[in-house]
Amino acid sequence: MKCLIVAAGKGSRLWQRGDVKPLVPILGIPLIERVIRSAVEAGLDDFYVVSGYRGERVRTFLDGLARRCRVKITHVINEAWEQGNGLSVLKARKYLNEHFVLLMADHLFDPSIVHELIRQPPNDGEILLAVDSYTSSPLVDMKDVTRVKIVDGRVSDIGKGLMPFNGFDTGIFLCTPPLFEALEHVMSEDGDTSLSGGVHYLAARGRVKAFDIGGRFWIDVDDPNAIDKAERSLLARLRGKQNDGPVSRYLNRPLSINISRYLARLPVTPNQISLASFFCSVLAAKLFALGNYLALTAGGFLAQFASIIDGCDGEIARLKFQESKFGGWFDAVLDRYADAFLLLGLTWHVYTNNTNKFVVFIGFMAIIGSFMLSYTADKYDSLMRSLTRSPRGIRIGRDVRVFLVFLGALLNQPLPTLVIIAVLMNGEVIRRIFVCREQH
């Protein structure tokens, strides 16, 4: 299915952030790139972008993006961009003979909205408008939003000042060619060159079906305040990672999200962040191994800092559409090495002060237990999934382990820390073996 994106307007309220609105960055990624990458995630790959104001710069950017994203982007030029956006839609008429998705270059959205929308083909002569019926959404600018009135699943009226209303126009459409006829009609009859005008014409004739987005994320980025809201929403969406352990959920994640907010604006890749976190851990291990309390404390803080930073690689990957199988795997491999080095450093610290061979054995059991916990996690989790039940109790993962190391270093209790980790980790592995045995 083809996708038309309107990116011709001037966007004067965003001048202070960049001189072309579609190229204004949101957490390091230009608005129109976010729109196109979200549409790609939803399953689209054939784009028609209408450019107008400073169109040359937009088109140059899009040519590069098409190569990077491996999608087709066709330029549609609207020199009369100062008139309404209905005119921009009409400019693309010759390319669009069937159903197509219509998006705005300045409206961000959850890709799942478009993913579902394109699976709801409209009847002939009708168009589908994605509407948000959560009318008290804090993301909506009540003064500027286009309101809709929905009756029996159809948009009966649409307009900026509309009263009463029970939904918002999200700027996401599934269109059919009759939209072009409606736009031409209102243009020649009423001189109305806006897209809303055409939609209003169809709505009055009962030909606009409403598709409720069910409270999912969307935002119209029109002014600096909206940019701020958009960035905060994108960051907040990172919180819900399912397999976050308790330390990650309540300590690391809130901090790492704030760090990611700044990192997103820099040209660093997720894999570089993984490496940085790994080297912090190695340095922490080296500090542990020095054998004195000051270095131990410093190492503890550095280890916990590395654990926090370790959340940023995945966050940046999600924020900047850079997720990859390799990235996740590379991070996991480095984490295993980092864990082992931290525990070796701690063991070395204890052994320096207490040359009992038993200490080495405890350290070894802590290292092997940590490894085995990670080694059994994949298979245990997939067994649990195949039994379609979620594992019970607290998930003892890397976040908990590093936090124990941090606490142990701070309290100058490295040996008890090693004992606790050895017992907890190996105990959990043995528990998993029994659970799997019982369930199989």
Site string for its own copies, 276-315 (x = CB under 8 A): ----------------------------------------
Site string for its own copies, 330-359 (x = CB under 8 A): x-xx--xx--x---x---x--------x--
Q: Which residues of 238-252 are buried (b: 16+ CB within 10 A; e: fewer)?
A: beeeeebbebbeeeb
* Least CB distance to its own copies at residue 314 (A): 16
Amino acid occupying residue 206: G
Instruction: Please give the span between the terminal C-alpha atoms of the chain, in angstroms, as a whole number.
Output: 45
368 binds its own copies (CB under 8 A): yes
* Least CB distance to its own copies at residue 263 (A): 21
272 binds its own copies (CB under 8 A): no
269 binds its own copies (CB under 8 A): no
Give the Cα separation of 135 and 66 in Å (integer).
Answer: 36
Give the Cα separation of 230 and 263 in Å (integer).
Answer: 17
Q: What are phi and psi of 241, to 5 degrees?
A: -65, 120
Can you tell me which residue has the tokens 């090495």?
337
**Nearest C-alpha neighbor of 34 from the set 43, 23, 44, 45:** 23
List the alpha helices (DSSP H) in 320-392: 325-353, 357-386
Among 375, 385, 394, 427, binds its own copies (CB under 8 A): 375
429 binds its own copies (CB under 8 A): yes
Give the Cα separation of 117 and 89 in Å (integer).
Answer: 19
Give the Cα separation of 189 and 136 in Å (integer).
Answer: 36
Which helix (H) or strand (E) segment holds residue 108: the answer is strand 107-109
321 binds its own copies (CB under 8 A): no
**Which part of the chain contacts its own copies (CB under 8 A), choosing from 38-46, 165-173, 252-260, 369-377?**
369-377
Q: Which is nearer to its own copies, 103 or 316 (CB)?
A: 316
Give the Cα separation of 255 and 266 in Å (integer).
Answer: 18
Give the Cα separation of 290 and 281 in Å (integer).
Answer: 14
Q: Which is nearer to its own copies, 250 or 329 (CB)?
A: 329
* Least CB distance to its own copies at residue 433 (A): 6
Report residue 29 as tokens: 């990624």
70 binds its own copies (CB under 8 A): no
Among 80, 142, 151, 433, binds its own copies (CB under 8 A): 433
Bridge partners of residue 76, in order along the sequence: 50
Which helix (H) or strand (E) segment holds residue 398: the answer is helix 398-410
326 binds its own copies (CB under 8 A): yes
* Least CB distance to its own copies at residue 364 (A): 5
* Least CB distance to its own copies at residue 324 (A): 6
| CA count, 13 A, side-chain hemisphere, 41 | 16
Cβ contact 183:92 at 8 Å? no
324 binds its own copies (CB under 8 A): yes
Q: Which is nearer to its own copies, 29 or 344 (CB)?
A: 344
* Least CB distance to its own copies at residue 437 (A): 6
259 binds its own copies (CB under 8 A): no
374 binds its own copies (CB under 8 A): yes
- For binding to its own copies (CB under 8 A), which residues are involved? 324-326, 329-330, 332-333, 336-337, 340, 344, 348, 357, 360-361, 364, 367-368, 371-372, 374-376, 378-379, 383, 429, 433, 436-437, 440
